[in-house]
Amino acid sequence: MRSPARTVLLWAVLLGVLTVVLVGFDAGSDLGGGATPALAVALLATAALTMALLAAGLALGWRRRREPRPAEEAVPDLSMPTVVVALGLGGALVGVEVGVFLVLIGAGVTLLGLGALVAELRSARQALEAAGAAGRSEEGNAGTVPTRGSYATPKQDGGGGGAGEP
């Protein structure tokens, strides 16, 4: 798996380039030199520096992370409820400028997305518990999900009763 520091570093580089471009536009403005407020340049440069430091911290933390990962974990490839929540929040924020009706629509979409997200997390937890319980039922195959017909009844006191025996 790739380090998340790459993405944050790419964002820091983009912010740095935008800072340089902003300083470059300052000199060629129709309003004369110093038209771009120094505060805007300082804020953008500070954001770029902060992201670069965060990327460095993530890179160091990612390399030091040596803890063993669990045998089974629920990590979905795609999560539509997350997208719905983001769209709902975006709609609500746009609604602040457009009107109350859009804030209410965005809030409703956000609540629907949150409900679906809770359902998704519950089903992932249940799937993990089911897989763990099935894996623990077989002594030699911990962590695996048994297939049909792989359950064996242990022999007791040397008598019959095993899988395939009368």
70/58 Cα distance (integer angstroms): 21
Indicate if the pLDDT at residue 64 is higher than 80. no
Is the pLDDT at 22 greater than 70, yes or no? yes
Put simply, whether the predicted model's pTM sits higher than 0.85 gets the answer no
Q: Calculate the dihedral angle through the C-alpha atoms of 109, 112, 114, 117, rounding to the nearest 10 degrees.
A: -120
- Say what the pLDDT of residue 149 is: 45
| Type of residue numbered 154 | P
Q: What are the CA-CA distances from residue 147 to residues 9, 133, 135, 137, 151 (Å)?
A: 46, 13, 11, 12, 8
Place of tokens 């002594």: 139
- Residue 46 has what pLDDT? 94
Q: Name the residue ranges covered by the structural domains of the chain.
A: 5-64, 80-136
Task: Give one DSSP letter per residue of 2-35, joined into a string.
Answer: --THHHHHHHHHHHHHHHHHHHHHHHT-TT-TT-
Measured CA to CA in angstroms, residue 104 lies from 91, 97, 99, 101, 130 at distances of 9, 13, 9, 5, 39
Average pLDDT of the residues of the chain: 76
Q: Is a pLDDT exceeding 60 seen at residue 11?
A: yes
Query: If pLDDT is split at 50, 70 and 90, which confidence band does 135 have?
Result: low
Q: Which of 32-36, 54-58, 114-118 has the lowest mean pLDDT?
A: 32-36
Contact 82, 26 (CB under 8 A): no
User: Alpha-carbon distance 26 to 11, whole Å?
Assistant: 23
Residue 50: the pLDDT is 94
